[in-house]
Structure 1
Amino acid sequence: MPNLILYNGKLHTQDEKYPNATAIALREGRILAVGGDAEMLALARTKTEKIDLGGRRVLPGLTDSHIHFYEWALLLQVVMLEDTKSLAELQARVQDAVSKAKAGAWIIGQGWDQTSWGQTKMPTKTDLDEISPKNPVILWRKDLHLALANSVALAQAGIDAKTPNPEMGVIQRDKNGEPNGLLNELAINLVRALMPASTELETDLAMQNAMKELHKFGITGVHDFRIMGGEGGAPALRAFQRLHAKNLLKLRTLVMLPGEFVEQAAKIGIMSGFGDDFLRIGGIKLFADGALGSRTAWMLENFEDTDHAGMPLTPVSEIAEKIARAEKAGITTAIHAIGTRAVRELLDVYEEVLEENAEVREARPKHRIEHIQHSTPEDLTRLARFNLLASVQPLHLTEDMDMVDTALGERARYTYAFRDLLNAGTVLAFGSDCPVVSPNPYLGIQSAVTRQRADGTPVEGWYPAQRLTVTEAVYGYTMGAAIAAGTEDKQGSLTPEKVADLVVLEDDIFEIPPLEIGKTQVKMTIFDGEIVYQK
């Protein structure tokens, strides 16, 4: 007997057996049947709940394939800076936070982007020192690869002119050699190590609130990644396990382990896929390079606006060793690669490692390259050849296009090259990289389909040959994400016996103008057969 029947809808099942379905029956967290209204309603019994969809569009539950969920949940409680339009506005928000804080308490913020202020000059510690002379302040740039600290925070961390750059990190300095407050990559951890940790109760409540925010978008699954350094790995995994044990985990969660722990994971026998339908281990995350905004993406040629080509964050030889160790142990790898050289070097490593294990490779989830923002025509065809998956974040392209044009010039034509990857046979899994950008998947779909800003510029789209269809973009948030997790037999389509995760939309994204997709509202989100959000 079905617990719930939804009828009079337009189901985008992504299952060719049910191309014109209008109704779906759910039972005990699974899809019982899919078909027409009369057929599904005939399954109803006395206690079956029936909901008339009123002709609304229904999609499989959406998955964010690249999100820093644990960090985002905690950052929702800090000073949010992503919509600041000037340095003065950032300063005003920090000053307001200082006025409400106890003397000596940390002021933590996230999301600033100097390019949205109409300037390229980076802020420095002097911009914070006058407004916060007694409270330590650290403010993450939107890409999480750069942070700004005031003098109090630097002093507490013992960072001065004599402090050497840490491995895989840079302490930026003024002309006199004094730290200017800007910290790149793992240099951030020198300050981060001093920040007060959240209690377990604070963490659990923050994560529950963040789940509710994702349900508003129809998101029912996440692939959760740590930022560099690995410190958040254990607290995040413990929090997910606590919530799961209490039946409070309302997302299909794939947890990626920090790459620093690949040897430990291999030694105790953890393999990708370990877990259940709610919580499972994904694989390990490594960083080949940094980010374009901080000019730490590793390029084949110099940036147009600097005299260098970025930097590798992890030595290629170390990445090769860890990929080989993970592959032998049955652990999937997900490697952050932004720049053209990072992508090239990583593909060379995968080519060598995967050829040695071709016989067992098809039985495991695919290895992934995260971001693959900038590449070359010859390398864009190599992922499919090695059965690698591209985990990409389409909203970045509309937010970054001006910066990319400035940094790369004509080389930008192979940036966020989704069409080339897809045409080469690469599976795309879509995500947001939240909190770097909004987790709203409809903004991501709009970006992939139009390659335009919200105001319709550029008129033809930014490198329009790389645009996708709405159907292809939805696949990235559903089946593509499931393939990335190795759960395509359980998720990604509205198919009998798969998990009962789905989203009912107020707006039909297949019929409205493409530039309106980002405004799409969700009517209802169902997770594991339970209505977890209803407008």
Structure 2
Amino acid sequence: MTLHLTNARIPGERGLLGNLINIAIDDGVVTALDFIGHTTSVTLPSAAKAARVVHGDEQIIDLDGRWIMPGLWDSHVHMGQWAQTRYRLDLSDARTLAEVAHRAGERMRAGDARVVGFGWRPAEVSGEISLELLDAATGDVPTFLFSADLHTAWVNSAGFREVDLHATQTGELSEQACFDVGKRVAIVDEGELDRWVDAAAREAAARGVVGIVDFEMANNAAAWRRRVAGGTDVLRVETAIYAEHLAYAIESGMRSGDTIASTQGLVRVGPLKIILDGSLGSQTARCFEPYPDVIGPRARGVLNHALPELAALMGRGWAAGLEPAVHAIGDEAVAHALDAFEAVECRGTIEHAQLVRSEDLRRFAPAGVAASVQPGHLRDDRDVAERLWAGRTSQAFPLRQMRDAGVEIRFGSDAPVTALDPWQAIQAAVTRTGDDRSAWHAAECLTVDEAIGASVRTHIAVNQPADFAVLDSDPLDMPVDDLGSMKVSATFVGGRATHMAL
């Protein structure tokens, strides 16, 4: 059956009659574009004033002058964590560690057999972290409180016993130790997790999302095969492989871009994920200059791989057909990652790239390295960056400089660190503020068109995938402060409606 999307507008066309288009779709691909007033191949039957009509072997959906654009991608998501976080204790607005502990205690007293919280910010909450403080609030109920960046966890004594670890003096775990505990805590009933992921996927589709790159810290191919078989079929997914699973991936013949069997063509093998440094909020992002008031071996953050080791790991993956995606936030980590890309001579992405020296911005494009960035972080990290990266924030989230240097930019959310909502990312990149303050380093703002371009993979053209978002407003002709609340009327993946609110 041929699907016709009729009476659509292209953003920026101001809605003149001559700019309305009809789009024909067969087998998930655009087969014709007809501009009304020029060549029109679709004649609506008299009954077609309804939004959706089946007419013979054709289905017609009248978009009634709404705007249509390529569907949106979120290029950095932790889908399982995002799905679970919405059911965890929200600590995002806590301002002191005492408040964090108090809220965990309230949840414990409500009868939870285990308390899992998320969202507190180590660099922003006041007070001294201690095991005694958390134990006093939570008693014998295992408690795990993860920071907003997922790089730090505050665990009570009962929690350490549950995961068979010796308690640290403060109860704090960071980086790999935090990740390891996070994986243990994330083990929930398979069916329940799949239901949560399905709900999160459908919410994403309702925001115009057609695809995600899933960086969940697990061997995810089997999970997504199971989810698609169970009806979670509203998103395209590229599922990353972590270094700990590299041998298995190579043995299995997995290559980036390959379709995973029994997923309706929706799930593909993603990149090889390598975590090079930490995060800004946990003061573990690797920088050339030390953090204020931090001494010792971590004064400049952490660097998980020396250059020879990093290049060898990337080279091993690349030789097997796996494209590297290197987590690098601090300026030294970004430079280090670029050194490795140049040594291996492979393409790939640097994930986050939050602080980048100007001389390193010029290295991305010649090396074939894209910047996979999360504009929502610039709003959340604005104040902490001014404190921890004082004097260097002109190079923080340097989106305009990246674009001017010819860097391919891909937007994501890093959900659950920020919400899985590309419209929020687009607004953040355009306005560079999340409150009533003026833009932070306004020279780095992108245009709306540029920000959308970093959020899509396809075009509206013949032979392109029929992955679309249908909007109630023209994003190129509306107040930029309203972009984050864009109303999405419909979403299509391969010509199949995954969200419909016409």
What is the TM-score normalised by the length of structure 2? 0.88
Residues of 2 paired with 1:272 and 1:243: CA distance? 20
Residues 264-279 of structure 1 aligned to structure 2 (within 5 Å): 264-275=248-259, 277-279=265-267
Q: What does residue 110 of structure 1 align with? A: 118
Per-residue deviation, 1:288: 0.8
Kept in 1, the 8 Å contact 2:280–2:329? The answer is yes
- Select 2:323's aligned residue among 332, 348, 353: 332
Residues of 2 paired with 1:189 and 1:240: CA distance? 21
Kept in 1, the 8 Å contact 2:33–2:462? The answer is yes
In structure 2, the CA distance between the partners of 1:194 and 1:424, relative to structure 1 (3 Å rule), is closer
The reply to whether residue 285 of structure 1 matches residue 273 of structure 2 is yes
Residues 187-266 of structure 1 aligned to structure 2 (within 5 Å): 187-189=177-179, 191-192=181-182, 195=185, 197-227=187-217, 232-233=218-219, 236-266=220-250
Per-residue deviation, 1:250: 1.8
Residues of 2 paired with 1:196 and 1:389: CA distance? 30
Q: What does residue 461 of structure 2 align with? A: 495
Which 5+ residue runs of structure 1 have no aligned equivalent?
162-170, 172-178, 355-360, 480-491
* AA matched with 1:41: V
The reply to whether residue 22 of structure 1 matches residue 31 of structure 2 is no
Which 5+ residue runs of structure 2 have no aligned equivalent?
46-54
* AA matched with 1:111: G
Residues of 1 paired with 2:161 and 2:238: CA distance? 38
In structure 2, the CA distance between the partners of 1:50 and 1:329, relative to structure 1 (3 Å rule), is same
Kept in 1, the 8 Å contact 2:72–2:210? The answer is yes
Residues 401-416 of structure 1 aligned to structure 2 (within 5 Å): 401-416=382-397
In structure 2, the CA distance between the partners of 1:249 and 1:84, relative to structure 1 (3 Å rule), is farther
Residues of 2 paired with 1:196 and 1:421: CA distance? 36
Of residues 82-91 and 148-157 in structure 1, the stretch that sits farther from structure 2 once superposed is 82-91
Q: What does residue 183 of structure 1 align with? A: 173
Residues of 1 paired with 2:294 and 2:98: CA distance? 27
Residues of 1 paired with 2:99 and 2:203: CA distance? 26
Residues of 1 paired with 2:473 and 2:131: CA distance? 46
Kept in 1, the 8 Å contact 2:12–2:476? The answer is no
SS in 1 for 2:287: coil
- Number of matched residues? 479
Per-residue deviation, 1:2: 1.9
What is the TM-score normalised by the length of structure 1? 0.83
Q: What does residue 335 of structure 2 align with? A: 344
Residues of 2 paired with 1:21 and 1:143: CA distance? 44
The reply to whether residue 524 of structure 1 matches residue 502 of structure 2 is no
Q: Residue deviations 1:95-154, cap 9 Å, x none? A: 34323435xx221121222566xx444644344323321210001100000111112212
Residues 118-157 of structure 1 aligned to structure 2 (within 5 Å): 119-121=125-127, 123-157=129-163
* AA matched with 1:381: R
* AA matched with 1:432: S
Q: What does residue 469 of structure 1 align with? A: 447
* AA matched with 1:424: A
The reply to whether residue 534 of structure 1 matches residue 500 of structure 2 is yes
Identity of aligned residues (%): 31
Kept in 2, the 8 Å contact 1:2–1:25? The answer is yes
Q: Residue deviations 1:475-511, cap 9 Å, x none? A: 11102xxxxxxxxxxxx22222332221112232211
Kept in 1, the 8 Å contact 2:242–2:274? The answer is yes
Q: What does residue 435 of structure 1 align with? A: 416
Residues of 1 paired with 2:371 and 2:342: CA distance? 15
SS in 2 for 1:517: helix
The reply to whether residue 377 of structure 1 matches residue 327 of structure 2 is no
Q: What does residue 453 of structure 1 align with? A: 434
Per-residue deviation, 1:314: 3.0
Residues of 2 paired with 1:22 and 1:371: CA distance? 37
Q: What does residue 52 of structure 2 align with? A: none
Kept in 2, the 8 Å contact 1:333–1:368? The answer is yes
Kept in 2, the 8 Å contact 1:138–1:147? The answer is yes
Kept in 1, the 8 Å contact 2:122–2:281? The answer is no
Kept in 2, the 8 Å contact 1:393–1:430? The answer is yes
Residues of 2 paired with 1:286 and 1:55: CA distance? 45
In structure 2, the CA distance between the partners of 1:58 and 1:247, relative to structure 1 (3 Å rule), is same
In structure 2, the CA distance between the partners of 1:106 and 1:33, relative to structure 1 (3 Å rule), is same
SS in 2 for 1:381: helix
Q: Residue deviations 1:295-333, cap 9 Å, x none? A: 101111112453421111233332111111112222100
* AA matched with 1:478: V
Of residues 290-299 and 414-423 in structure 1, the stretch that sits farther from structure 2 once superposed is 414-423
Q: What does residue 321 of structure 1 align with? A: 312
* AA matched with 1:463: H
